[in-house]
Amino acid sequence: MAAYKRVLLKLSGEALMGDDAFGINRKTIERMVSEIKEISDMGVEIAIVIGGGNIFRGMTGGAAGMDRATADYMGMMATIMNALALQDAMKQAGMDARVQSALRIDQVVEPYIRPRALRQLEEGKIVIFAAGTGNPFFTTDTAAALRGVEIGAEVVLKATKVDGVYTADPKKDPTATRYSTVSFDEAISKDLKVMDATAFALCRDQNMPIRVFSIVKEGALKRIIEGSDEGTLVQCKPI
């Protein structure tokens, strides 16, 4: 039985690279889609916000010295490319996925319209939110927090390559331990950097819990939906 009815899954663009230096690794995206399909088949309504770092990483040399707003708009378009790739992989897996973009590209994707997104979720479709918030200077973490609140998600699932939030960087400190749960206030006081400050403040103010987990760890997403102690839960009051 699913512990959540509606979730917002935040996927980093880097998670789509697999072992590649940049771009999209097809096997990686197909594996992610199969795990998302598992929880969709359990009746969970799923919205996804996806980053664009994997695409933009291949352009970093050309972006050096560029105006920040221009670079951010380029990053938003990279998220649209990722969203289309994810939608295509989902359709090939027999899933009904829709892309809604905060930037208007009507020939390619639907514009973001909240009532439409809610209707599509209720119909069992996967809704992929692209182009962040549509504004420069805001990250896709902030977009995930914002869209999560707007659609009434029960939790923001932040998929990373690390299986939770640690007391220190586990790659540098072998004694680092994983938090099972942590409060927003403790995460701030210890500078745990769960999300960027704007996204984190929005989740805290709206009492939106965040679950940080590893998308690389097979079956982790399903275990979270089933209520297992996977990753790190960040919430207003620790359990």
- Residues making up the annotated binding site for UMP are 52, 72, 133-140
The amino acid present at 141, given as its one-letter code, is: D
Shortest CA distance to 194 belongs to which of 209, 207, 206?
209
Binding residues: 10-13, 52-53, 57, 72, 133-140, 160, 166, 169
Q: How far is it, in rounded angstroms, from Cα 54 to Cα 57? A: 5
Binding residues for ATP: 10-13, 53, 57, 160, 166, 169
